[in-house]
Structures are given as C-alpha cells and as structure tokens.
Amino acid sequence: MRIAVIGAGIAGLVAAAGLQRDGHDVVIFERRSHSDAVGAGLTLFGNAFEALDLVGLGDTVRGVSSAAIASMRAGQRSPSGGWLTTAPASATGSMRSVHRQDLHRALTDSLVPGTLHTGSPATVDPSGGPHIVLDHDTARVDPVDLVIVADGIHSPNRRVLGLDTGLHYAGYTAWRGVTSEPVDIHDEAGETWGRGQIFGIVPLPDNRIYWFGTLNCPAGTIYPEEHAEVRRRFAGWHPPIQDCIAATPPGDLMRHDIYDLLTPLTSLTERRTVLIGDAAHAMTPNLGQGAGQGIEDAATLTVLLRGVSPASLGAALTTYTEFRHARTTSIMQRSRWAARVAQASHPLLAGLRDTALRLTPGGLLGAANRRMHRWPRPG
C-alpha cells in the first residue's frame, strides 16, 4: 500500500521504517525545514524494545542507547539526599536511556533514501479520506491508501479531523539539559522529590548526563535568566545536582510547560486516517512512557497491516483502536495522577507522599509497573 506519514517524530519514524520493511510504499511529510530532533534525553523500557524488536529496529536503538542505569541505585530521594525508595531491578532492568537527537538520527538512517520530505506541511482530508493536501495555494492532492497522523501534541491535523479535545496544563514547567562533559553521579540515578519540585538524573551512553528539573508555576511564566533560575531553584539540594546544572551550557538549556490531552480522544482513527504518538495521546512525562507508547502504536499498526489490502484496511484500523485506545488512556490517566503526587507542594501532602514511599515495599512498586513495561502485542 501507499502510506503517507505526517510528522517525523519518534512514532512517525518507527511507523515508516517498520512499514517499509514490510514492503509498503511510505513517504513522510515534515512541516519543519529540517529533520533534526529538538530535545535532550529520554528513557525507554522493555515494552518499547519488544515493539522495536518486532519491526526490526530494536538493535538499531540499542546501539545508540545506554543500559547503565540498570546497574545503578535508582529511585526517589529527598532534597537532602536520603533515599525515599529504591527501585527494584524489575523496574529498571529493561530501562535504557538515549539522547533524543541520537535516536532520531538512527531511526532516520533506517529509512529508504528519499522517504523524508522536510519543509512539507501536509493536511488530512477532514473526513479522513485516503488523500492529503500538500500545497494549500494550488490545492495539490496526493492520493494514498492510508494516512498516519504523527504530528505531535499540538497536532493541527487532529483538529482538522474534529477529534481534538484541547490541552490540559499539568501545573508545572520543566527545564531539561545534557551536560557537555561527564559528571560523577556515584552510580546513583533517578529523581529527587521536593515540594512542587523534582530533579531527575539519567546517564547517557557517552558518560554525559541528561537531567531535568520541574517547578510548579503558572503556565507561561517567564524567567529572564533561565540558567540562573534553575540553579537558584535547586540550591541546597544534594550533590551532584548543582554539578549537572553547571556542566550544561546556558545556551543548551531548554524549558517547556508540561501539557497533556485534556481528555482522551473518542477514537484513534477516522476512515483511512489513523493517529499515533502524541497526536493521539499526549501525556505527562512522569511515567517515562510518552515515547514508548508512540513506539507501541507504530509497531501495533505495522503488525496489523501485514498482509492487508486496501479493501480490508477498515477492519485493521478498527482492530488498532481496540488494541491501543484502552491502554493509552489508562497510561495517560496514571501519568496525570503520578504528576499530581510527585509535584505535591503542600507540606502535609508532600510529607504523606514521602512517608508512603518509605513504607511501600520496592517489590510492590515494581509489580505496579510490570504490566506497563510489557507490550500487549497483537496476534
């Protein structure tokens, strides 16, 4: 089949590469004039690698990622450095970290040359029909058998299809950075939870550190000096937090307010159009499943389209929604709940949260995530 993918993020690239390996004629349209990823680091768990393996991309991603965190002590700490809880091996054993740019480059290199068209905004048919509009001035239409919408959390095509439910501000902003040099983290990683603030430390393959810092604040808050602000906000927190911030050039620091979908979409498909990744189920990053769920989407779709002709495409897309809607909705909701707990700012609530973490056995915490870290593959 001829398939158009709108958006060259992680989900769109995995879908395109997987479908090409199955013999489909795939083209990607990316509205940006370049294909470089914007971002810092991210983590992927076993569910993502199960999906990547099935579409032939698992080893490609392992080659640019690190499993170092699996051999470190990880979990949640207090700002003084005391451990609230240590994650069991079952929670981190399958976890790998990767720089977003390295992942994007590896996935792009997996495509057939000429697949990716940058500077090419594409719009779906409002009724979900099998074509896309490539040039609004001339109304140039490109007929295809299937359109995959993977254009991110702010997806204009989700709105065109009439599926958009709006976005919900999670109540906090996030700084993200990657150190320009190695930082000794003493074989300890994970998150440090304060009142309305979190600092996370994740090792990358080249001994650099991906870190993030969150802060409860009104949406759209502006800080004149971002680097100085993040240093100030985490002053007095345990080492090596300040070392990570200091080792990150101010020009490389990023900050974004955190949003997820206001409510889950009623459907992930519309006739011959299907939504994947953040366009379908943008979630907060608190469970580390944003990229992983997009990868699951792409792999599920790839598997369901094996041996399918255009005539039987409708049934395959119905099955896709049946497989993905309940799982992604559940993880979206769990992630929003996790954000509220982790970002608690009231002293009483934060204290109760910390006490609950100290008293909950690590094995119980691991069991709660075990199902999430397994991909319920179709077939």
265 occurs within a structural domain = yes
Is residue 146 one of the residues assigned to a domain?
Answer: yes
Checking if the pLDDT of 367 tops 80, the result is no
Which pLDDT band holds residue 362 (cuts at 50, 70, 90)?
low
Give pLDDT, residue 361.
80
**In the structure, what pLDDT confidence band is assigned to residue 61 with cuts at 50, 70 and 90?**
very high
pLDDT at 12 over 70: yes
- Cβ neighbors of 60 (< 8 A, separation 6 or more) are 52, 106, 107, 110
Would 226 be classed as within a structural domain?
yes
Q: pLDDT digit string (tens) for 119-160?
A: 999 999 998 888 888 766 655 788 999 999 999 999 999 999
pLDDT of residue 364: 59
Domain count for the chain: 1
Is a pLDDT exceeding 90 seen at residue 292? yes
193, 354 Cβ separation under 8 angstroms: yes
Residue 136 has a pLDDT of 61
204: containing domain = 2-370
Residue 208 covered by a domain: yes
Q: Is residue 355 part of a domain?
A: yes
pLDDT exceeds 80 at position 379? no
pLDDT digits (tens, 9 = 90+) for 154-177: 999 999 999 999 999 999 999 999
**Mean pLDDT across 111-126:** 95
pLDDT of residue 138: 58
Q: Nearest to residue 280, comparing CAs of 262, 263, 292, 268? A: 268
Pairing of strands 96-99, 41-44: antiparallel
**Do the Cβ atoms of 241 and 170 come closer than 8 Å?**
no
**The CATH number of the domain where 279 resides is what?**
3.50.50.60
Per-residue confidence (pLDDT) for residue 340, from 0 to 100:
98
Determine the average pLDDT of the residues in 37-55. 93
Residue 371: is its pLDDT beyond 80? yes
Query: Per-residue pLDDT for 93 more than 80?
Result: no
Continuous segment of H or E residues that includes residue 238: none
Residue 275 belongs to what H/E stretch? Answer: strand 273-275
Structure tokens at 83: 């451990």
In a domain, 81, yes or no: yes
% of the chain with per-residue pLDDT over 90 = 87
279: in domain: yes
- Over the stretch 302-361, which tens digit does the pLDDT of each residue have? 999 999 999 999 999 999 999 999 999 999 999 999 999 999 999 999 999 999 999 988
Give domain status of residue 325, yes or no.
Answer: yes
Q: Are 65 and 10 in contact (CB under 8 A)?
A: no
Residue 110 reports pLDDT greater than 80: yes
Mean pLDDT for 232-256 is 98
* Across 270-286, average pLDDT: 98
Measured CA to CA, the distance from residue 218 to residue 102 in angstroms comes to: 32
pTM value?
0.96
Whole-number pLDDT of residue 135: 64
Q: Assign 38 a pLDDT band (cuts: 50, 70, 90).
A: confident
Categorize the per-residue pLDDT at 37 as very low, low, confident or very high, splitting at 50, 70 and 90: confident
C-alpha distances out from residue 370 to 77, 94, 185, 365, Å: 22, 11, 27, 9
Asked if the model's pLDDT at residue 87 lies above 90, the reply is no
Query: What is the mean predicted confidence (pLDDT) over 189-205?
Result: 98
